[in-house]
Amino acid sequence: MTEMRYTTLGRTGLEVSRFCLGCMNFGSEQPWMMNDRDASVDLIHEALDAGVNFLDTANVYSSGESEEIVGDAVASANRDELVLATKVYGDMRDGPNGGGLSRKHVLDQCEASLDRLGVDYVDLYQIHRWDETTPIEETLAALDALIESGRVRYVGASTTTAYRLTKALYTSDLEDYGRFACVQPEYSAVARHEEANLLTVAEGEGLGVIPWSPLAGGFLTGKYERAADPDEGTRGAASESVRAYFTDENWAVLEAVRAVADEEDATPAQVALAWLLERDVVTAPIVGPKTIEQLRDDLGALEVSLSEEQVARIGAPKVARYPKV
Protein backbone atom coordinates (compact mmCIF):
# COMPACT_ATOMS: atom_id res chain seq x y z
CA MET A 1 0.00 0.00 0.00
CA THR A 2 1.17 3.53 -0.79
CA GLU A 3 2.91 5.22 2.13
CA MET A 4 1.02 8.37 3.07
CA ARG A 5 2.79 11.71 3.34
CA TYR A 6 1.74 14.66 5.51
CA THR A 7 2.08 18.42 5.49
CA THR A 8 0.79 21.34 7.52
CA LEU A 9 -2.40 23.21 6.65
CA GLY A 10 -1.13 26.62 5.56
CA ARG A 11 0.69 28.42 8.35
CA THR A 12 -1.01 26.39 11.07
CA GLY A 13 0.65 23.55 12.94
CA LEU A 14 -2.16 21.16 11.93
CA GLU A 15 -0.76 18.14 10.10
CA VAL A 16 -2.91 16.72 7.33
CA SER A 17 -2.44 13.93 4.80
CA ARG A 18 -1.44 14.99 1.28
CA PHE A 19 -4.85 13.76 0.13
CA CYS A 20 -8.17 14.69 1.68
CA LEU A 21 -11.07 12.27 1.33
CA GLY A 22 -14.05 14.09 -0.14
CA CYS A 23 -17.32 12.76 1.21
CA MET A 24 -19.87 14.33 -1.15
CA ASN A 25 -20.39 10.94 -2.84
CA PHE A 26 -21.66 9.38 0.38
CA GLY A 27 -25.45 9.46 0.36
CA SER A 28 -28.46 8.77 -1.80
CA GLU A 29 -29.44 12.16 -3.17
CA GLN A 30 -28.14 11.58 -6.71
CA PRO A 31 -28.00 8.39 -8.80
CA TRP A 32 -24.20 8.67 -9.23
CA MET A 33 -23.63 8.69 -5.45
CA MET A 34 -22.73 5.71 -3.28
CA ASN A 35 -26.15 4.52 -2.18
CA ASP A 36 -24.74 1.62 -0.15
CA ARG A 37 -24.10 2.93 3.37
CA ASP A 38 -21.97 -0.05 4.41
CA ALA A 39 -19.79 0.31 1.30
CA SER A 40 -19.32 4.00 2.11
CA VAL A 41 -18.19 3.18 5.65
CA ASP A 42 -15.82 0.51 4.31
CA LEU A 43 -14.28 3.01 1.90
CA ILE A 44 -13.69 5.52 4.70
CA HIS A 45 -12.08 2.79 6.81
CA GLU A 46 -9.83 1.89 3.88
CA ALA A 47 -8.76 5.52 3.59
CA LEU A 48 -8.02 5.73 7.31
CA ASP A 49 -6.02 2.50 7.17
CA ALA A 50 -4.01 4.00 4.30
CA GLY A 51 -3.06 6.96 6.47
CA VAL A 52 -5.59 9.51 5.24
CA ASN A 53 -6.45 11.58 8.32
CA PHE A 54 -8.29 14.43 6.55
CA LEU A 55 -12.00 14.07 5.67
CA ASP A 56 -14.13 16.79 4.09
CA THR A 57 -17.92 16.88 4.04
CA ALA A 58 -20.74 19.46 4.29
CA ASN A 59 -24.10 19.74 5.98
CA VAL A 60 -25.91 19.96 2.62
CA TYR A 61 -24.41 16.79 1.15
CA SER A 62 -27.47 14.55 0.85
CA SER A 63 -29.16 16.80 3.43
CA GLY A 64 -26.90 15.67 6.25
CA GLU A 65 -26.67 12.01 5.26
CA SER A 66 -22.99 12.34 4.32
CA GLU A 67 -22.14 13.68 7.78
CA GLU A 68 -24.03 10.80 9.38
CA ILE A 69 -22.11 8.24 7.32
CA VAL A 70 -18.80 9.88 8.19
CA GLY A 71 -19.84 9.87 11.84
CA ASP A 72 -20.61 6.15 11.70
CA ALA A 73 -17.28 5.42 10.04
CA VAL A 74 -15.08 7.38 12.44
CA ALA A 75 -16.86 6.35 15.65
CA SER A 76 -14.23 3.67 16.29
CA ALA A 77 -11.26 5.72 15.04
CA ASN A 78 -8.72 7.63 17.11
CA ARG A 79 -10.32 11.08 17.23
CA ASP A 80 -7.01 12.73 18.14
CA GLU A 81 -5.56 11.71 14.76
CA LEU A 82 -8.56 12.76 12.66
CA VAL A 83 -8.98 16.09 10.91
CA LEU A 84 -12.72 16.43 10.25
CA ALA A 85 -13.91 19.24 8.02
CA THR A 86 -17.45 20.30 7.21
CA LYS A 87 -19.20 23.37 5.80
CA VAL A 88 -22.11 25.72 6.36
CA TYR A 89 -24.20 27.97 4.12
CA GLY A 90 -26.68 25.93 2.08
CA ASP A 91 -30.40 25.66 2.81
CA MET A 92 -31.11 22.89 5.31
CA ARG A 93 -34.83 23.56 5.57
CA ASP A 94 -37.53 25.72 4.05
CA GLY A 95 -38.46 29.06 5.51
CA PRO A 96 -36.56 31.98 7.04
CA ASN A 97 -33.07 31.32 8.42
CA GLY A 98 -32.87 27.92 6.73
CA GLY A 99 -29.58 28.84 5.05
CA GLY A 100 -26.94 31.53 4.74
CA LEU A 101 -24.21 32.74 7.07
CA SER A 102 -26.12 34.64 9.74
CA ARG A 103 -24.97 34.15 13.31
CA LYS A 104 -28.14 32.14 13.98
CA HIS A 105 -27.65 29.77 11.06
CA VAL A 106 -23.91 29.30 11.60
CA LEU A 107 -24.30 28.48 15.30
CA ASP A 108 -27.37 26.28 14.80
CA GLN A 109 -25.83 24.33 11.94
CA CYS A 110 -22.57 23.76 13.75
CA GLU A 111 -24.49 22.05 16.55
CA ALA A 112 -26.45 20.01 14.00
CA SER A 113 -23.26 18.95 12.20
CA LEU A 114 -21.60 17.93 15.46
CA ASP A 115 -24.65 15.82 16.28
CA ARG A 116 -24.63 14.08 12.88
CA LEU A 117 -20.88 13.50 13.01
CA GLY A 118 -21.10 12.28 16.60
CA VAL A 119 -18.19 14.43 17.80
CA ASP A 120 -17.64 17.26 20.25
CA TYR A 121 -15.76 19.48 17.80
CA VAL A 122 -14.80 19.78 14.15
CA ASP A 123 -11.25 20.53 13.16
CA LEU A 124 -12.14 22.71 10.17
CA TYR A 125 -15.40 24.61 9.70
CA GLN A 126 -15.75 26.29 6.31
CA ILE A 127 -18.15 28.76 4.76
CA HIS A 128 -19.44 26.89 1.71
CA ARG A 129 -20.32 30.03 -0.24
CA TRP A 130 -20.31 33.80 0.34
CA ASP A 131 -23.54 35.22 1.78
CA GLU A 132 -24.44 38.48 0.03
CA THR A 133 -27.12 39.31 2.63
CA THR A 134 -25.06 38.91 5.81
CA PRO A 135 -22.19 41.25 6.72
CA ILE A 136 -18.92 39.34 6.80
CA GLU A 137 -18.28 40.82 10.25
CA GLU A 138 -21.32 38.95 11.60
CA THR A 139 -20.23 35.66 10.05
CA LEU A 140 -16.65 35.96 11.26
CA ALA A 141 -17.80 36.87 14.76
CA ALA A 142 -19.99 33.75 14.84
CA LEU A 143 -17.12 31.57 13.62
CA ASP A 144 -14.83 33.14 16.21
CA ALA A 145 -17.35 32.35 18.94
CA LEU A 146 -17.28 28.70 17.84
CA ILE A 147 -13.49 28.69 18.08
CA GLU A 148 -13.61 30.25 21.53
CA SER A 149 -16.17 27.67 22.68
CA GLY A 150 -13.99 24.78 21.50
CA ARG A 151 -16.54 23.48 19.00
CA VAL A 152 -14.29 24.46 16.08
CA ARG A 153 -10.49 24.37 15.84
CA TYR A 154 -9.90 26.19 12.52
CA VAL A 155 -12.04 28.00 9.97
CA GLY A 156 -11.80 28.22 6.20
CA ALA A 157 -13.59 29.27 3.02
CA SER A 158 -14.80 27.31 0.01
CA THR A 159 -15.63 28.62 -3.46
CA THR A 160 -15.22 32.34 -3.04
CA THR A 161 -13.46 35.13 -4.92
CA ALA A 162 -10.06 36.68 -4.35
CA TYR A 163 -11.62 40.01 -3.36
CA ARG A 164 -14.00 38.44 -0.85
CA LEU A 165 -11.29 36.26 0.64
CA THR A 166 -9.03 39.28 1.03
CA LYS A 167 -11.86 41.25 2.65
CA ALA A 168 -12.51 38.44 5.13
CA LEU A 169 -8.82 38.16 6.03
CA TYR A 170 -8.54 41.92 6.48
CA THR A 171 -11.65 41.97 8.69
CA SER A 172 -10.30 39.12 10.84
CA ASP A 173 -7.01 40.94 11.30
CA LEU A 174 -8.78 44.20 12.09
CA GLU A 175 -11.24 42.72 14.60
CA ASP A 176 -8.92 40.01 15.97
CA TYR A 177 -11.21 37.19 14.84
CA GLY A 178 -10.01 33.70 14.05
CA ARG A 179 -8.47 33.86 10.58
CA PHE A 180 -9.25 31.55 7.67
CA ALA A 181 -6.58 28.86 7.66
CA CYS A 182 -7.34 27.56 4.18
CA VAL A 183 -9.36 27.97 1.04
CA GLN A 184 -11.10 25.33 -1.07
CA PRO A 185 -11.20 26.27 -4.76
CA GLU A 186 -11.87 24.31 -7.92
CA TYR A 187 -8.44 23.46 -9.30
CA SER A 188 -7.15 20.88 -11.75
CA ALA A 189 -5.09 20.67 -14.91
CA VAL A 190 -8.20 21.75 -16.86
CA ALA A 191 -9.58 24.26 -14.34
CA ARG A 192 -6.84 26.81 -13.74
CA HIS A 193 -8.84 30.04 -13.63
CA GLU A 194 -7.86 30.67 -10.00
CA GLU A 195 -4.10 30.65 -10.59
CA ALA A 196 -3.89 34.42 -11.07
CA ASN A 197 -6.66 35.19 -8.58
CA LEU A 198 -7.57 33.16 -5.49
CA LEU A 199 -4.37 31.10 -5.44
CA THR A 200 -2.23 34.22 -5.55
CA VAL A 201 -3.97 35.48 -2.40
CA ALA A 202 -3.67 32.07 -0.73
CA GLU A 203 0.05 31.90 -1.40
CA GLY A 204 0.67 35.47 -0.28
CA GLU A 205 -1.35 35.05 2.91
CA GLY A 206 -0.03 31.59 3.76
CA LEU A 207 -3.35 29.78 3.44
CA GLY A 208 -3.67 26.08 2.87
CA VAL A 209 -5.26 25.09 -0.45
CA ILE A 210 -7.44 21.98 -0.66
CA PRO A 211 -8.73 21.83 -4.24
CA TRP A 212 -12.07 20.25 -5.04
CA SER A 213 -12.66 18.31 -8.26
CA PRO A 214 -8.95 17.68 -8.89
CA LEU A 215 -9.95 15.16 -11.57
CA ALA A 216 -12.53 17.49 -13.14
CA GLY A 217 -15.53 15.32 -12.35
CA GLY A 218 -13.77 12.25 -13.75
CA PHE A 219 -12.70 13.91 -17.01
CA LEU A 220 -9.00 13.55 -16.17
CA THR A 221 -9.35 9.84 -15.37
CA GLY A 222 -9.60 9.25 -19.11
CA LYS A 223 -13.00 7.57 -18.83
CA TYR A 224 -14.50 9.83 -21.52
CA GLU A 225 -13.61 9.91 -25.21
CA ARG A 226 -13.72 12.89 -27.55
CA ALA A 227 -15.73 11.07 -30.23
CA ALA A 228 -18.23 9.27 -27.96
CA ASP A 229 -21.11 10.29 -25.74
CA PRO A 230 -20.65 9.62 -22.00
CA ASP A 231 -21.96 6.26 -20.80
CA GLU A 232 -25.27 6.28 -18.98
CA GLY A 233 -24.87 6.32 -15.21
CA THR A 234 -21.67 8.38 -15.29
CA ARG A 235 -21.42 11.95 -14.05
CA GLY A 236 -20.57 12.98 -17.58
CA ALA A 237 -23.98 11.81 -18.71
CA ALA A 238 -25.84 13.32 -15.75
CA SER A 239 -23.97 16.59 -15.20
CA GLU A 240 -23.72 19.57 -17.52
CA SER A 241 -20.84 20.89 -15.40
CA VAL A 242 -18.78 17.79 -16.27
CA ARG A 243 -19.64 17.99 -19.95
CA ALA A 244 -18.48 21.61 -19.88
CA TYR A 245 -14.94 20.22 -19.70
CA PHE A 246 -15.39 18.66 -23.15
CA THR A 247 -13.56 21.39 -25.08
CA ASP A 248 -10.76 21.11 -27.63
CA GLU A 249 -8.36 22.78 -25.21
CA ASN A 250 -9.16 20.34 -22.41
CA TRP A 251 -8.97 17.30 -24.70
CA ALA A 252 -5.43 18.46 -25.51
CA VAL A 253 -4.61 18.50 -21.79
CA LEU A 254 -6.04 15.00 -21.40
CA GLU A 255 -3.96 13.77 -24.32
CA ALA A 256 -0.84 15.09 -22.57
CA VAL A 257 -1.90 13.44 -19.31
CA ARG A 258 -2.43 10.12 -21.09
CA ALA A 259 0.96 10.34 -22.79
CA VAL A 260 2.75 10.98 -19.49
CA ALA A 261 0.79 8.15 -17.86
CA ASP A 262 2.11 5.76 -20.53
CA GLU A 263 5.66 7.00 -19.90
CA GLU A 264 5.38 6.50 -16.14
CA ASP A 265 3.37 3.25 -16.17
CA ALA A 266 0.67 5.09 -14.22
CA THR A 267 -2.99 5.86 -14.74
CA PRO A 268 -4.22 9.20 -16.08
CA ALA A 269 -5.84 9.93 -12.70
CA GLN A 270 -2.52 9.38 -10.91
CA VAL A 271 -0.71 11.69 -13.30
CA ALA A 272 -3.36 14.42 -13.02
CA LEU A 273 -3.17 14.24 -9.22
CA ALA A 274 0.62 14.13 -9.23
CA TRP A 275 0.59 17.28 -11.39
CA LEU A 276 -1.45 19.04 -8.69
CA LEU A 277 0.85 17.81 -5.92
CA GLU A 278 3.72 19.49 -7.78
CA ARG A 279 2.07 22.89 -7.33
CA ASP A 280 3.71 24.57 -4.36
CA VAL A 281 0.49 26.24 -3.27
CA VAL A 282 -1.50 22.99 -3.01
CA THR A 283 -1.84 21.34 0.41
CA ALA A 284 -4.11 18.36 -0.23
CA PRO A 285 -6.34 17.67 -3.24
CA ILE A 286 -9.80 16.43 -2.28
CA VAL A 287 -10.42 13.08 -3.95
CA GLY A 288 -13.88 11.55 -4.13
CA PRO A 289 -13.56 7.86 -5.06
CA LYS A 290 -16.63 5.65 -5.10
CA THR A 291 -14.82 2.33 -4.80
CA ILE A 292 -11.85 1.07 -2.82
CA GLU A 293 -10.09 0.37 -6.13
CA GLN A 294 -10.49 4.02 -7.15
CA LEU A 295 -9.21 5.14 -3.76
CA ARG A 296 -6.10 3.00 -4.06
CA ASP A 297 -5.52 4.28 -7.57
CA ASP A 298 -5.81 7.90 -6.40
CA LEU A 299 -3.41 7.38 -3.51
CA GLY A 300 -0.96 5.77 -5.91
CA ALA A 301 -0.32 9.27 -7.27
CA LEU A 302 2.05 9.72 -4.31
CA GLU A 303 4.40 7.27 -6.01
CA VAL A 304 4.41 9.15 -9.32
CA SER A 305 7.27 11.62 -9.70
CA LEU A 306 6.93 13.96 -12.67
CA SER A 307 9.82 15.72 -14.36
CA GLU A 308 9.74 19.46 -14.94
CA GLU A 309 9.26 18.74 -18.64
CA GLN A 310 6.26 16.50 -17.97
CA VAL A 311 4.68 19.06 -15.63
CA ALA A 312 5.19 21.76 -18.25
CA ARG A 313 3.82 19.56 -21.04
CA ILE A 314 0.57 18.94 -19.16
CA GLY A 315 0.25 22.62 -18.36
CA ALA A 316 1.29 23.88 -21.78
CA PRO A 317 -2.18 23.96 -23.40
CA LYS A 318 -3.46 26.14 -20.55
CA VAL A 319 -2.41 29.45 -19.05
CA ALA A 320 0.98 30.00 -17.43
CA ARG A 321 1.58 29.21 -13.76
CA TYR A 322 0.11 31.77 -11.36
CA PRO A 323 2.55 34.58 -10.65
CA LYS A 324 4.63 34.71 -7.50
CA VAL A 325 3.68 37.37 -4.95
Strands (E), 1-151: 6-8, 15-17, 20-22, 54-56, 83-88, 122-127
- Whole-Å CA distances, 51 to 77, 115, 272: 12, 25, 21
Q: What is the DSSP string of 158-217?
A: ES--HHHHHHHHHHHHHHTPPPEEEEE-B-BTTB-TTTTTHHHHHHHHT-EE--B-TTGG
Is 163 annotated as catalytic?
no
Judge whether 226 and 272 are in contact, CB under 8 Å. Answer: no
Judge whether 249 and 280 are in contact, CB under 8 Å. Answer: no
DSSP 64: G
Judge whether 168 and 180 are in contact, CB under 8 Å. Answer: yes
Q: CA geometry: angle at 44 spanning 39 and 50, to 5°?
A: 125
Residue type, 179: R
**Which of these is catalytic: 61, 125, 154, 177?**
61
For 8, residues 6+ apart whose C-beta sits below 8 A from its C-beta are 14, 15, 16, 208, 283
Closest CA to 44 of 61, 22, 60, 62: 22
Beta bridge pairs of residue 212: 186
Catalytic residues: 61
